[in-house]
Amino acid sequence: MRSFISAIVMILLFSPSVIFAHSAFMACYDNGDKTITCYGEFSDGSSAAGTPIRVIDLEKKDLLTGTIDDIGEFTFTRPQIPFTVIFDAGPGHIVKEKSTNISE
């Protein structure tokens, strides 16, 4: 029993990234006034403020860039061409939303 408890303690001590892991989430909505608002957050409730947002065209060229604000939002004028919104909180925490999935 003692070795089992020791093994559990060792696992907990050496795998904090698993214990404290969180996922990035983003949802984008058409506001009906030619603007899009994207909401970004993390599954553990931590703020996404300051997280970079990119809006790119089909050739992956930047149309615009910005960051999630203090209330977890990024609003922009809807491009007239197909685009993808990228919420980039670092490796393993990148979320993409295509314009075809953002409806009025």
pLDDT at residue 21, rounded to an integer: 54
List Cα–Cα distances, 47 to 1, 5, 29, 59, 92, in angstroms.
41, 35, 19, 31, 17
Domain boundaries, the chain: 22-101
pTM across the whole model: 0.77
pLDDT tens string 65-95 = 999 999 999 999 999 999 999 999 999 899 9
The SS3 call for residue 88 is strand
CATH number of 22-101: 2.60.40.1930
pLDDT at residue 103, rounded to an integer: 84
Surface-to-core class of residue 48, CB atoms within 10 Å of its CB (0-12 exposed, 13-18 middle, 19+ buried): buried
Which carries the bigger pLDDT value, residue 9 or residue 99?
99
How many angstroms separate the CA atoms of 63 and 53, rounded?
Answer: 11
pLDDT at residue 18, rounded to an integer: 40
